[in-house]
Amino acid sequence: MQNCNQCGKCCTKYGAADLATNQQEIELWALFNPDIFQYVKNDALWFDPKTGEQLTQCPFLVLSSKKNSQEKNKYTCSIYHDRPQDCRHYPSLISEMINDDCEMLEPIDVQNTFKAQQTLNILMIDSRT
Ligand code: SF4
Ligand code: SF4
């Protein structure tokens, strides 16, 4: 298992209508992060604050600048420390990572998913609390 290389596949796949949050998180955004809260509508994520339409991509996903044209796309999250619960918990299952083609996976992880899951659980321990 290698570190996240910020390929952005997970954010691109789940970053719009498929993201879940919780009431406490929404209340905290409403109080302290109006820039995030403006994209919440009826406790769901993410909606255009002007039109009220559901967005097709997370508004906080940022493509990093490249040093050269050969470099792979690399993404950051502009609300990393205040990101939704779903984002903090990803990745949680090896099966999900395989399905999403997550680039943290190495061939040995796919060969031994039980061991890979144990490694992942240790890696993610801080994010899941
Ligand atoms: S909030 Fe951040 S981590 Fe979550 S989908 Fe958007 S860019 Fe990705
Ligand atoms: S898909 Fe995996 S490697 Fe790519 S950004 Fe998400 S967690 Fe990182």
Structure tokens at 122: 């240790």
How many CB atoms sit inside 10 A of residue 16's CB?
Answer: 18
CA of 91 to the centre of ligand 2 (A): 8
- Residue 91: asked if its preceding bond is cis (omega within 30°), the reply is yes
Residue with the smallest CA separation from ligand 2 atom 2 is: 102
Q: What is the pLDDT of residues 18-32, one digit of tens each?
A: 888 899 999 999 999
pLDDT at position 17, please? 78
Whether 40 lines ligand 1, by a CB cut-off of 6 Å, is no
Q: How many CA atoms lie within 13 A of 3 on its CB side?
A: 2
CA of 100 to the centre of ligand 2 (A): 9
Report the C-alpha gap between 74 and 119 in whole angstroms: 24
State the pTM of this model. 0.91
Q: What is the pLDDT of residues 57-111, one digit of tens each?
A: 999 999 998 888 888 999 999 999 999 999 999 999 999 999 999 999 999 999 9
CA of 61 to the centre of ligand 1 (A): 6
Q: How confident is the model at residue 129 (pLDDT cuts 50, 70, 90)?
A: low
Whether 77 lines ligand 1, by a CB cut-off of 6 Å, is yes
